[in-house]
Structure 1
């Protein structure tokens, strides 16, 4: 029996909005000036997120409300359960932080979903990244090295699928057995010569996996 896993990015892939944009729009408008510096490579991802998440200045209760207001692809809960019912394991792989991902997963009633992300803690009215440079998946730029994670999962699973939407996802896409790409990711993968299947919603992925015979109709 084939042992398989589905791995998905979170911000912009499962969620319809990146958490950092919620924070920038609500509490840190100065972040809009930092965004181009981050995208140009002048700022590392972890430094940009640390600055944004460290500029919230709200109670933990308010942040919790903000987190649960993040919209996600409506197809995701059913898709996750379909993967699990068909014998697959579901992972969320994010260079954001588990601080906001885990509550969203739990709020949708999803179980046995493994979240692989940067650890986040609430302290002094902000979210702080707690990154261990000695961890096997450490990345100086992203906090977590998605490519290394996929390679490690490939040692455990016969087939690993991956879904993503942006530049950090181009690195693990190289190692996944099949990558599903949306938003900015397809153009990046075209440039790299990495094959992918384009999708807009998770029901598109489900249809592809049904066609393959991985999921039942």
Structure 2
């Protein structure tokens, strides 16, 4: 079975969740309840993200990008991890609930645009409108926004060894579909609650070591 990696962005490739960071910086008071409602599954991820960004003025686009470029940190070892998967010809996809106008600039030079699946944004009106080019297919009714299981179904086959790397509630459904899970933070808790086998990581050096070990066992 050919290994294929599906990796989250916010809180996984980057050290912090960039959507949460944006909201704390630009619209903290009105978004705290929305964020908690998403975590508590009172509203869908799609509804929550759409609501939060609709509070932001479209004219703040450049300011938001500049803020993230100054503050977002790529997790240690990501460069080496990407170099390894390229050398081994392992397909690597970023599947993110983040938004293209900040995900793509932060990954420029690291991951090809064609391998990034995320939400999009329109700045045509007074407030930012989120678009959903990778929304749920007929097999998912969770209101994911960027539906990771749907993307996996498009890109994987029965002969694919599906590796999921993530950190949060948005990665749980993908983890359920995976053959191998690398988890940190909130996803660790959810994997334990759901009985999903996983290995934990803090840096991509950890991911690299674990991945090499797993692939050696399988060959």
Match of 1:183 among 164, 185, 190: 185
Deviations 1:139-174 (A, max 9, x none): 552113212322333317632211011122111112
Instruction: Name structure 2 gaps, 5 residues minimum.
Output: none
Distance 1:136 1:163, change over 3 A: same
Distance 1:124 1:19, change over 3 A: farther
Could you tell me how far apart the structure 2 residues matched to 1:89 and 1:180 are?
A: 16
Q: Which residue of 1 aligns with 2:23?
A: 24
Per the normalisation by structure 2, the TM-score is 0.84
2:17 aligned with 1:15: no
Could you tell me how far apart the structure 1 residues matched to 2:17 and 2:127 are?
A: 17
The 3-state SS of whatever aligns with 2:73 is coil
Q: Which residue of 2 aligns with 1:119?
A: 120
Q: Which residue of 2 aligns with 1:38?
A: 38
Q: Which residue of 1 aligns with 2:4?
A: 5
The 3-state SS of whatever aligns with 2:46 is helix
Q: Which residue of 2 aligns with 1:50?
A: 50
Q: Which residue of 2 aligns with 1:77?
A: 79
Q: Which residue of 2 aligns with 1:67?
A: 68
Structure 1: 4+ residue segments shifted above 3 A = 123-127, 132-140
Instruction: Name structure 1 gaps, 5 residues minimum.
Output: none
2:146 aligned with 1:147: no
Deviates more, 1:144-153 or 1:186-195: 144-153
Deviations 1:40-66 (A, max 9, x none): 222221222112222232433212212
Distance 1:126 1:16, change over 3 A: farther
Match of 2:163 among 139, 161, 164: 161
Tell me the C-alpha RMSD between the 2 structures: 2.4
Deviations 1:191-211 (A, max 9, x none): 211111111111101011222
